[in-house]
Amino acid sequence: MADQTQPAGSTAVTDQGRVPTVVVDDVHVVYRIHKGATGGTSPVSALKRIVSRTNAPNITEVHAVKGVSFTAYQGEAIGLIGSNGSGKSTLLRAIAGLLPVDRGAVYTMGQPSLLGVNAALLNDLSGERNVVLGCLAMGMAPEEVKRLAPEIIEFSGINERGDFASLPMRTYSSGMGARLRFAIAAAKKHDVLLIDEALATGDRKFRRRSEQRVRELRESAGTVFLVSHSLSSIVDTCERTIWLESGVLRMDGPTEEVIAAYENQP
Ligand SMILES: Nc1ncnc2c1ncn2[C@@H]1O[C@H](COP(=O)(O)OP(=O)(O)OP(=O)(O)O)[C@@H](O)[C@H]1O
């Protein structure tokens, strides 16, 4: 959701001259899972319910994010940590505007870009074609795409073991696909870039390159969020970290302090 209280392009400067890019205000996200009275949501069970006129499906609720609030500023890289199922990916998707919030609100500068390992590229098209489509979809001009495409392919490293850029993406390993997705998204300057585990999928050499790129994106005044189970990636990339547990914000502060508390929990 875009900030409706600020006209586009305005820079409300608060808190010692820092420019806020994302304001998360008491956000709750609830997933509603439809469980059929006769078991399941398949067309077969739905038809059985219709024919037998049994009750509408039961709905189970999962309250994945519970009242989270924080403000992110321009130039910050913020790590999101927490155990499995603590709500990290859900919060990122809510910031990206891909999930509706149940209560509270998210205000962002521009449209945040979510870079996940599942970001959509077309498997039947070559890496090269996906680079072009991905860049056009991010709003780049065709000349800019033409200029940047070789750099993106090189950054992704997919051609290190042969000419994979001209082969369909379905021939890529999952790591190669993730690297290409990262390379495409990182080619553009984003006001707010959300990265979900993408760095963890590359090999060591690629990880170093991508961490360097995250630093550059930060320096070009964007805000970067990084969800990762690799605490070393978070330490190397982020100076601020938010720790979520069971959907609740447990701690928000300098990375070393938050990671020390996370590692020392009983
Ligand atoms: N599409 C969905 N439908 C229903 N419940 C979901 C869905 N996605 C996530 N959940 C639930 O929401 C909660 C938070 O999940 P989420 O994926 O945000 O956690 P996470 O911290 O990113 O986990 P992980 O570290 O394992 O990736 C979990 O209880 C999960 O079961």
Predicted confidence at residue 129, as pLDDT, reads 94
CATH of the domain spanning 71-263, picked from 3.40.50.1820, 3.40.50.300, 3.30.450.20, 3.30.420.40? 3.40.50.300
Query: What distance in Å separates the CA atoms of residue 187 and residue 118, rounded to the nearest whole number?
Result: 18
pLDDT digits (tens, 9 = 90+) for 143-200: 999 999 999 999 999 888 888 899 999 999 888 888 888 888 888 888 898 888 766 6
Sorted by sequence, the CB contacts under 8 Å of residue 61 that are 6+ apart come out as 30, 31, 32, 33
Question: Ligand 1 centre and the CA of 88: distance in Å?
Answer: 8
Q: Is the pLDDT of residue 201 over 80?
A: no
Residue nearest to atom 7 of ligand 1 (CA): 31
Share of the chain above pLDDT 70, in %: 86
Interface predicted TM-score of the whole assembly (ipTM), two decimals: 0.97
Residue nearest to atom 24 of ligand 1 (CA): 84
pLDDT bucket at 6, cuts 50 / 70 / 90: very low
The angle formed by the CA atoms of residues 56, 62 and 68, to the nearest 5 degrees, is: 140
Predicted confidence at residue 210, as pLDDT, reads 82
Please, what is the average pLDDT of the chain?
84
DSSP state of 173: -
For 149, the enclosing helix (H) or strand (E) is helix 142-156
Q: Which atom of ligand 1 is nearest to the CA of 197?
A: 27
Query: What distance in Å separates the CA atoms of residue 79 and residue 105, rounded to the nearest whole number?
Result: 21
